[in-house]
Amino acid sequence: MNVEKLHETVDGVKQEIDRLVQVIEHPEDILGNFYNAYNENLLQHVLEYMNISEDEKYNLLIEQLAKMPVLSNCKITKLKSGTSSPLLVSYRKPEFRLLKIDIKGKKFENVFETVVRGLQISINETEAAVRKAERDVAELKEVATRIYQLSNGDYALRGFAGLTRKRNIRNYLDSVNYTKDDIDRIIGNLSGFVGRLSDSIDKRQAVLAEAEVKHSEALDRRGEYDNNTFLQNAVGDLTALLTNSGYELKKDLSTTLREGKA
Other C-beta atoms lying within 10 Å of the C-beta of residue 152 = 11
User: How many domains is the chain partitioned into structurally?
Assistant: 2
What's the predicted TM-score (pTM) here?
A: 0.68
Q: What percent of the chain has pLDDT over 70?
A: 91
How far is residue 85 from each of residues 16, 104, 140, 195, 260, measured CA to CA in Å?
24, 10, 54, 60, 12
Residue 81 has a pLDDT of 64
108 and 234 belong to one structural domain = yes
160 — pLDDT class (breaks 50, 70, 90):
confident
204 and 109 belong to one structural domain = no
Check pLDDT > 60 for residue 102.
Answer: yes
Mean pLDDT computed over 14-26: 80
183 — pLDDT class (breaks 50, 70, 90):
very high
92 and 70 belong to one structural domain = yes
The angle, 0 to 180 degrees and rounded to 10, between the axes of the packed helices 159-175 and 180-188 is: 150
175 — pLDDT class (breaks 50, 70, 90):
very high
In three-state secondary structure terms, 94 is coil
220 and 241 belong to one structural domain = no
Contacts of residue 114, defined as CB under 8 A and 6 or more positions apart, other chains included, come to none
H/E segment holding residue 96: strand 96-102
Rg (CA), the chain: 34
Mean pLDDT computed over 147-153: 93
Q: Which residues share a beta bridge with 107?
A: 102, 248
Residue 216 has a pLDDT of 97
User: Is residue 106 packed enough to be buried (19+ CB in 10 Å), middle (13-18) or exposed (0-12)?
Assistant: middle
In three-state secondary structure terms, 135 is helix
Residue 104 lies in domain: 3-113+229-259
78 and 141 belong to one structural domain = no
Task: Tell me 260's DSSP state.
Answer: T
Following DSSP, what letter does each residue of 186-200 receive, concatenated?
HHHTHHHHHHHHHHH
213 and 238 belong to one structural domain = no
Residue 236 has a pLDDT of 87
94 and 186 belong to one structural domain = no
236 and 222 belong to one structural domain = no
37 and 165 belong to one structural domain = no
Contacts of residue 127, defined as CB under 8 A and 6 or more positions apart, other chains included, come to 215
53-97: pLDDT as tens digits? 878 888 888 888 888 888 888 999 887 765 557 889 998 888 888
237-251: pLDDT as tens digits? 888 988 988 889 888
Mean pLDDT computed over 128-134: 97
247 and 189 belong to one structural domain = no
Q: Which residues share a beta bridge with 87?
A: 78, 101
How far is residue 40 from each of residues 11, 19, 50, 167, 194, measured CA to CA in Å?
16, 13, 16, 88, 78
Answer for the pair 257, 109: CB distance below 8 angstroms, yes or no: no
Alpha helices in the chain (DSSP H): 3-25, 27-33, 40-49, 54-65, 112-151, 159-175, 180-188, 190-226, 229-244, 253-259
Mean pLDDT (the chain) is 85
Answer for the pair 96, 117: CB distance below 8 angstroms, yes or no: no
Residue 260 has a pLDDT of 40
In three-state secondary structure terms, 98 is strand
10 — pLDDT class (breaks 50, 70, 90):
confident
107 and 18 belong to one structural domain = yes
91 and 170 belong to one structural domain = no
Check pLDDT > 90 for residue 144.
Answer: yes
C-alpha span between 220 and 217 (Å, rounded)? 5
C-alpha span between 142 and 145 (Å, rounded)? 5
206-262: pLDDT as tens digits? 999 999 999 999 999 888 888 888 888 888 888 898 898 888 988 877 644 443 443
